[in-house]
Structure 1
Amino acid sequence: MTKRFARRLALVATMMMLAIPAVSAQQDDEAPPPSKPGKPISAGEVLSGELNAMKIRDVKNAGKRVAMYQITSEPRRLPAPSGLCDLETGPETFQLVTSSDAQAAQLKSFVGKEISVKVDEVACASDPGQMSEAVVTKWSLVRKQ
């Protein structure tokens, strides 16, 4: 009976030695401190990032599928009253609203690439179903020199 007790005690001790480093490693990997808010962006400034395209259903156009373009960038603060869009660091995804077929065609060739746009109007996303955290309603593509 003493041999069984000694084996069990050795097994428990080994398990404890393996579990303690795992628990301490989890404690070291706690959530990082909150990020600082992004730098502000206002009308006339340039927003750069990767351009993504998604197909969404347009409720205004009988549910037709239309392309929606989005820039993924570093976090940015928007001008007041929008501020941080109820986020700690500010929005990172910006929907580019196209006002014409020419703008949509212009963006289509840059999907998946890094682009820069001059922002004229930007606000937090407010409509249900929007895929981005912020919406850029007026913009122009900036050509790289």
Structure 2
Amino acid sequence: MGFAFLAATLLAPCVGAQQNDTPQKPGKLIRSGDVLSGELNAMRVRDARKGGKRVATYQITSEPRRLPPPNGLCNLETGPETFQLVTTSEAQAAQLRSLAGREISVKVDEIACAQDAGQMSEAIVTKWSVVTK
């Protein structure tokens, strides 16, 4: 029950932001090599694959973006607004930990719609790098 409550609490602001009477246009297309910018949020979720161990998850909240085919709008009217950054090393995790709560930009190399139960974002960025100014 705790996970379901946490998920509902974290996703409620995202859902509420899209419930608007005026029709919104789909977001700009994002492709491999494009830059995604937004506020980096750090969350702790339980990973079912790791025996329920709590793991840090990082998410960028940005303007709606469309994904290239076959993903398209991720079953959303305007495209995803929340993008989970998948870390593949401790160095990447440490880099994101130090940037949590800030506005950041990442170069997207690989992106897809969220499909697994328990994912807290609408889209998943599996390969990325932080863009420094």
Residue aligning to 2:129: 140
1:98 aligns with 2:101: no
1:43 aligns with 2:38: no
> 1:32: Cα distance to partner?
2.8
Q: 5+ unaligned residues in a row in structure 1: which ranges?
A: 1-30
Q: How does 1:1-145 map to 2 (within 5 A)?
A: 31-144=20-133
Higher radius of gyration, 1 or 2: 1
Q: Deviations over 1:20-76 (max 9, x none)?
A: xxxxxxxxxxx5321000000000000000000100111222211010000000000
Larger RCO of the pair (alpha carbons < 8 Å, separation 6+): 2
User: How many Å separate the matches in 1 of 2:38 and 2:22?
Assistant: 25
Q: Deviations over 1:79-127 (max 9, x none)?
A: 0000000001000000000001110000001111000000000000000
Letter in 2 for 1:88: E
SS of structure 1 residue aligned to 2:99: coil
SS of structure 2 residue aligned to 1:103: helix
TM-score (norm 1): 0.77
RMSD: 0.8
Runs of 4+ in 1 over 4 A off after TM superposition: none
